Amino acid sequence: MDPVGEKAIRSSFVNCSKGEASRIKLPVGLAELPWEELDFLGWRDPGAPDRSYLVAPRGDGIIGVTLRRPQGVRRSFTKTTVCSVCVTGHPGSGVSLLAARRAGPLGRQGNTVGTYLCADLACSLYVRGRKRSQLAGRHEETLPLEERIARTVRNLDAFLDKVLEGE
């Protein structure tokens, strides 16, 4: 992913108002992030742990979505410890069910779409081996790195397609 500035990030959000986007707490050290190793930028709001954000390349630009951990969802109802995007397994609470309000009229009606993501949204770093899951006895994939990255991007694009559906 190419480096992205604050203004571009704030204007990329498709499932919140401009006012909401202007109040989003951006990650600290934006300029120092390992952009060349990121397939998308993801972060959690340190002041509101139920809120997360994701910004990804899309077409000739970028798309941003706000994410929330659904209220009332207990860990016992989380049926997976595997991220749906990067297919990394995590123990305990390393995977979170996150929901994005759909873009456009469907989102204004309250419709959402959810997916299981690495709780720290560091999928790109897990896929590249820059960050390790704490899962004991983790199965090592035999897919080449390029194919694992392509799978991660495809899975993320499929989720973003659902967010944009009906826009």
Amino acid of residue 114: G
pLDDT of residue 41: 97
133 within domain boundaries:
yes
Number of domain units in the chain: 1
Mean pLDDT in residue range 27-42: 95
- Residue carrying structure tokens 């560091």: 122
**At residue 21, what are phi and psi to the nearest 5 degrees?**
-60, -35
Structure tokens at 106: 């469907």
72 within domain boundaries:
yes
pLDDT of residue 101: 96
**At residue 156, what are phi and psi to the nearest 5 degrees?**
-65, -45
Structure-derived torsion over alpha carbons of residues 45, 52, 111, 157, reported in degrees to the nearest 10: 160
pLDDT of residue 76: 46
Asked if residue 104 has pLDDT above 80, the reply is yes
**Average pLDDT of the chain?**
90
84 within domain boundaries:
yes
Range of the domain at 147: 6-164
DSSP state of 25: -
Q: What is the pTM of this model?
A: 0.90
1 within domain boundaries:
no
140 within domain boundaries:
yes
Least confident of 19-33, 60-74, 97-111, 151-165: 60-74
